[in-house]
Amino acid sequence: MTRVRPAGELKAEVHAPAVIVGAGACGLGAAIFLRDLACETWVLERDAVARGSTALSSGFIPAAATAAQRALGIEDSIEMFAQDIQAKAAGMAAAHLVKAYTQAIVPALDHLQHEHGFEWEILDGFLYPGHRRRRMHTLAQRQGQALIDRLLQRAQALEATVVTNAQVVDLYLDEQQHVRGVGVLRPDQQVETIGCDALLLACNGYGGDRDLVRQHLGAMQDALFAGHQGNDGSAVKWGQAMGAAVADMGAYQGHGSWAVPQGILLTWAIMVEGGVQLNQQGLRFHDETHGYSEAAAAVVAQTDALAWCVFDDPILKLAGSFPDFVSLQNTGGVVMAQDIDALAGRIGCASETLAHTLNWPLESSDNFGRKFKRRLQAPFYAVKVTGALFHTQGGLDIDAHCRVRRSEGTCLPNLWAAGGAARGVSGPEVSGYLSGNGLLSALAGAWIAAHEIAQYLGGQHA
């Protein structure tokens, strides 16, 4: 339920200077930064426990020139990172956000490290497609659940008010389009009202709204949605009801290796390091090195929307460093085949076809444009996967300060959006998603929005 109501109807029971809708990485990150700037902040979260898509994620955040990178002697730069983002998006990512986010993620991660004890590690052993440097920051647990737990713990320690079981359903707007408050649906079905001076929409995108997915992401309309059900398009719906613009609505993060039936993410490092995807006929169907996001639609287009990820011993060793992979092994999701006949039996295809497929040319490009350095060697390992939608990258159009823009280009006076609620840095299509664009937008956007809101509130009360 998303309504925009006249401010005259607002009878606020309490008032908070800064209100944030959604307690994911963006909302909780912004709450931490706002509290550090001495702003009273309320975070309203529809679930009983703060999780969001952030908790479902791998928790990998790309950033260049951070203290963590420097400590490891990794030579990288904000400019190179920005170029990599644009190269993946074929130059079509919103330039003002690429610049703003690649810059802001540095103080955001450094601040969390130095002021709040986040001990960032940098992923080692392989590079995600499109990243020229090792720049994926992660907590030791390498899981989004650890990230969200840590952000929540810090936000609460700083006395941000985090209210759960609090689904924001109404925004109250005055005649100048200031948001004067919100209506919050509580478990007893009562709507409570909270007045505010500034509002940040950090409630992610529309991956959980089938109608919006059908409208904007045709290729994924029947695909499994592996993100958080709270990604119901609220931000886009409110925005459109108040004349805000949306942008890049065709962009999304998909993933071409969502293990079924386990429902566990199989790391794309397996593909990058020489693994392949085969359909049920035992045939390859795309260049797996392009990226996991666009691979989702390629897998969904195969029979039953299924594929097998196939790899061998050297790759198994690397995969074992990912906790999700270990979970998959423990639940029987990784099958071993001693030879091609056994693998064909697992996949249900002809041995001759499979033998032909796995005998790809070396050093020269194959039919899909991929160059292999080596062929897979028995024993083989295989995981059955589908293509899944993870989160949408289109959303409310924002300026470099994360202020929500109206259709005619001016900004709404006290409304900010960031993370999955706003357009990202992937351009208009799925192929533009560079690994990590999701949490980059969430935490860099949180940093920017928090500082802008603090400045706005300071100016208001001066």
Ligand X SMILES: Cc1cc2nc3c(=O)[nH]c(=O)nc-3n(C[C@H](O)[C@H](O)[C@H](O)COP(=O)(O)OP(=O)(O)OC[C@H]3O[C@@H](n4cnc5c(N)ncnc54)[C@H](O)[C@@H]3O)c2cc1C
Interacting residue ranges for ligand X, rule: CB under 6 A: 21-27, 44-47, 50-54, 56-61, 167-168, 202-204, 226-228, 230-231, 234, 253, 265, 390-391, 419-420, 436, 438-440, 442
Nearer to ligand X, 110 or 312 (CB): 110
Nearer to ligand X, 307 or 337 (CB): 307
432: its two tokens: 């533009």
Nearest residue to ligand X, scored by beta-carbon proximity = 24
The single-letter code of the amino acid at 95 is: A
Number of Cβ atoms within 10 Å of the Cβ of 375: 12
The number of residues making up the chain comes to 462
Nearer to ligand X, 349 or 422 (CB): 422
Helices (H), 177-309: 210-216, 234-241, 269-272, 292-300
Torsion of CA 452, 454, 455, 460, to 10 degrees: 120
CA distance 31 to 1: 25
State in angstroms the smallest separation of the CB of 368 from ligand X. Answer: 25
State in angstroms the smallest separation of the CB of 162 from ligand X. Answer: 11
Question: SS3 for 398?
Answer: strand
Note if the bond before 361 is cis, omega within 30 degrees: no
State in angstroms the smallest separation of the CB of 92 from ligand X. Answer: 19
State in angstroms the smallest separation of the CB of 154 from ligand X. Answer: 15
Question: SS3 for 290?
Answer: helix
Nearer to ligand X, 47 or 273 (CB): 47
Number of Cβ atoms within 10 Å of the Cβ of 277: 24
Question: What letters, b where the CB count within 10 A reaches 16 and e where it falls short, cover 153-172?
Answer: ebbbebebbbbbebbbbbbb
Nearer to ligand X, 380 or 390 (CB): 390
State in angstroms the smallest separation of the CB of 203 from ligand X. Answer: 3
Consecutive H or E run containing 386: strand 380-392
Question: SS3 for 418?
Answer: coil
From the list 419, 25, 393, 56, the residue with the least C-alpha distance to 258 is: 56
CA distance 347 to 282: 7
State in angstroms the smallest separation of the CB of 435 from ligand X. Answer: 7
Helix axes 78-88, 95-116, angle to 10 degrees: 130
CA distance 80 to 330: 39
Nearer to ligand X, 23 or 343 (CB): 23
Nearer to ligand X, 309 or 349 (CB): 309
Nearer to ligand X, 228 or 423 (CB): 228
Nearer to ligand X, 142 or 286 (CB): 142
Note if the bond before 379 is cis, omega within 30 degrees: yes
CA distance 428 to 134: 26
Question: SS3 for 323?
Answer: helix
Nearer to ligand X, 191 or 355 (CB): 191
Place of tokens 């030879």: 339
State in angstroms the smallest separation of the CB of 98 from ligand X. Answer: 15
Helices (H), 158-274: 210-216, 234-241, 269-272
From the list 42, 61, 74, the residue with the least C-alpha distance to 113 is: 61
State in angstroms the smallest separation of the CB of 444 from ligand X. Answer: 11
State in angstroms the smallest separation of the CB of 405 from ligand X. Answer: 18
From the list 335, 326, 441, the residue with the least C-alpha distance to 379 is: 335
State in angstroms the smallest separation of the CB of 453 from ligand X. Answer: 16
State in angstroms the smallest separation of the CB of 207 from ligand X. Answer: 8
State in angstroms the smallest separation of the CB of 258 from ligand X. Answer: 8
Nearer to ligand X, 13 or 341 (CB): 13
CB 196 within 8 A of CB 180: yes
Nearer to ligand X, 293 or 357 (CB): 293
